[in-house]
């Protein structure tokens, strides 16, 4: 169908919790054992691999600033995630993490554009007008809108006020839409 004329010149930006893996409402994913992929995610990554030029994860992880999890523990979770996706014939090109407390400097957290700007510095061919941001919160949708991206909301128990371009139940539905 390809509603947005997506091709290899496009970039896919993804939130992590609630998009790639099951979100732990009221808490944080602190170990590989707690990290559970959402239904259909691994199949979706296999399709995204052939569709997008870049696949970037942008994730707010204030659990680092709160001392709940170390950066090393977070790296182990991300290595597991990338390895499982790679085994399913998918890929993640980069992961950008905002580690600070909500509302505190350096203001890397979504909806601030910092993580996208860092991605563009590392991948200069990124064009935000040819990018899609997929998330499950208002800050994810505002992040994408602030940069001129198409926005996709993954529906969950999270109450949102932002208006995305489309709302879906999981990444598999994004594959069907594209």
Contacts of 173 (CB under 8 A, 6+ apart): none
Query: In angstroms, rounded to a whole number, what is the distance separating the alpha carbons of residues 151 and 163?
Result: 9
Catalytic residue among 7, 15, 72, 176: 15
Q: Are 41 and 82 in contact (CB under 8 A)?
A: no
Per-residue DSSP letter, 101:
P
User: DSSP of 25-73, one letter per residue?
Assistant: TTS---SGGG--BPTTHHHHHHHHHHH-SEEEEEEE-TTTTTTSS-HHH
Catalytic residue among 17, 108, 136, 140: 17
Determine whether 17 is an active site residue. Answer: yes
Q: Could you confirm whether 15 is annotated as catalytic?
A: yes
* 57: Cβ contacts below 8 Å, ≥ 6 apart: 13, 14, 15, 16, 20, 92, 94, 95, 96
Q: Find the helix or strand (DSSP H, E) in which 131 lies.
A: strand 131-135
Instruction: Give me the phi and psi of 139, to 5 degrees please.
Output: -65, -35
Q: What are phi and psi of 142, to 5 degrees?
A: -65, -40
Active site residues: 15, 17
């Amino acid at each position: 169908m390809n509603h947005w004329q997506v091709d290899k010149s496009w970039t896919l930006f993804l939130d992590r919790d609630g998009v790639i893996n099951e979100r732990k409402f009221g808490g944080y994913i602190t170990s590989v054992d707690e990290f559970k992929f959402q239904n259909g995610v691994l199949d979706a990554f296999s399709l995204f691999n052939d569709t997008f030029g870049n696949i970037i994860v942008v994730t707010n992880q204030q659990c680092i600033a709160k001392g709940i999890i170390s950066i090393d523990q977070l790296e182990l979770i991300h290595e597991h995630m990338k390895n499982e996706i790679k085994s399913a014939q998918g890929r993640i090109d980069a992961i950008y993490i905002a580690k600070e407390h909500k509302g505190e400097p350096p203001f890397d957290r979504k909806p601030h554009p910092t993580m996208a700007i860092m991605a563009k510095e590392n991948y200069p061919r990124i064009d935000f007008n040819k990018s899609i941001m997929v998330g499950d919160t208002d800050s994810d949708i505002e992040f994408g809108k602030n940069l001129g991206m198409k926005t996709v909301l993954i529906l969950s128990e999270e109450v949102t006020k932002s208006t995305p371009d489309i709302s879906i139940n999981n990444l598999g539905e994004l594959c069907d839409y594209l």
